[in-house]
Structure 1
């Protein structure tokens, strides 16, 4: 059997080790978590001993990379300077905190340009990354592919490439591909997954693809709406998502479920997807 890392978003309220144990209860081999309240605010202090217990648990159970997620309110390309400063402060603090679990992944939504234009948004996002990325950090920061609702930046592979090209320490950057988002953005992962991945490779490079958000979508392709559905209950469908998790070019990546579920629902999806992994 090949390596298959599958997990979901877990609450960080009870600490790091508790998240690891919750993942094991779901038969997960990775997980995602918000670094602080998804709507922003001050982060809870980290207990170094708690973080050490998680690291030991992950090693014991051969976990894949875990994927921290920045708050939704962090808008690196906001029109108002105070909001950009808030975003930069949060990301800088998060990256310091991430060193409690060295070598993991930190995912964020690039932001919304709120009428300034995509080019200006790209410049501002890259500027924030140039301010917060440090040569010595072990964390890889992931730009997430976006559905393109409103004025979101990152609705195309070209926009993500344009951000990467403006970042000095680009070796600390990767991409998280969200199946719902790319479908809603217009990429045909149902009928032409090979073509989509070839386009990603040509524009960004598959070497930068470090994580997959595996979600179905309530919307038809190209809707630009971003409404996640449970696995097999949306417009993408189970068979297309199974082709994603079994694609040879995606082997070894962590697959994170962000479907509208409770713990029992996530456990059922993880069981289903494990049963369809070709190994």
Structure 2
């Protein structure tokens, strides 16, 4: 069975967000922990969070994804900026105690000229200072498109971060189809090869979620511009192979396509129709 949802907002409350996911035909979802381009976070309503967790259990959701804000750059070029980013990470992981056994995803960051190795060291250092044995979620590094000085455009960079994290049993990876395509991995003509490479470098057991997005750009463009499913260079046939691949089909898939709610509902329906066992 395909486990799929989309990115939703929390303006009407957490439980309302879960009900919206259900109405769209989803059994997972993603939400930002706070304003994606700001530092402020709305206080969590404990009862609302409990209501969401009850809804997830009652409707047999697979793990949901909380997404860190884009401004959280753990490998920024000043100590002040890095400390600011780490404070967001630490606060988010405290907030995630309301959502045990779920997923927390973040963009590894941009080294802004310091070099990949320095950036990897800074990211791992922040994780080592923040993760504890009591951390209640799996923390995901997202695959990136490799634009500018982004870290995470190659599987080897994510593995290097994980290897430097002391409590790396808390770590996993979220594979974004648009990002890896734009980063140079050929999901269209060599899906098996890409997944074999991921397994050899990182290990498929660390792959915990998929961001399912088409791309406005050709392979290896390093641009990171999402397209609706079937409307980009990856295409619907490749998406069908992705959602049906035996190494992926039990993972939570989350749409981040440029859509309104009706568009998300349509895409979820199309993808379910393409999935083996749902025909």
What are the residue-to-residue correspondences of 1:18-97 with 2, within 5 Å? 18-97=16-95
The correspondence for 1:149, drawn from 134, 147, 152, is 147
Aligned to 2:108: 110
In 2, distance between residues paired with 1:138 and 1:96? 9
The correspondence for 1:138, drawn from 131, 136, 139, is 136
RMSD of aligned residue pairs (Cα, Å): 0.7
Give 1:231 deviation, angstroms: 0.2
Give 1:4 deviation, angstroms: 2.0
In 2, distance between residues paired with 1:51 and 1:223? 40
**Residue pair 1:76, 1:125 contacting (<8 A) in 2 also:** yes
Give 1:58 deviation, angstroms: 0.8
Aligned to 1:175: 173
Q: What is the aligned residue count?
A: 277
The correspondence for 1:213, drawn from 202, 211, 214, is 211
Give 1:25 deviation, angstroms: 1.2
The correspondence for 2:123, drawn from 122, 125, 128, is 125
The correspondence for 1:162, drawn from 151, 160, 163, is 160
What are the residue-to-residue correspondences of 1:161-240 with 2, within 5 Å? 161-240=159-238
- Deviations 1:201-249, CA, capped at 9 Å, x for gaps: 0000000000000000000000000000000000000110111110001
In 2, distance between residues paired with 1:40 and 1:25? 29
In 2, distance between residues paired with 1:123 and 1:6? 34
In 2, distance between residues paired with 1:30 and 1:214? 13
Aligned to 2:252: 254
**Residue pair 1:143, 1:160 contacting (<8 A) in 2 also:** yes
Give 1:40 deviation, angstroms: 2.2
Aligned to 1:267: 265
In 2, distance between residues paired with 1:88 and 1:41? 11
**Residue pair 1:40, 1:74 contacting (<8 A) in 2 also:** no
Give 1:32 deviation, angstroms: 0.1
List 4+ stretches of structure 1 deviating above 3 A.
Answer: none
- After TM superposition, the score normalised by the length of structure 1 is 0.98
In 2, distance between residues paired with 1:165 and 1:55? 32
In 1, distance between residues paired with 2:174 and 2:76? 22
In 1, distance between residues paired with 2:8 and 2:185? 28
In 2, distance between residues paired with 1:194 and 1:168? 31
In 2, distance between residues paired with 1:13 and 1:163? 34
- Deviations 1:67-101, CA, capped at 9 Å, x for gaps: 00000010000001111111100010000111101
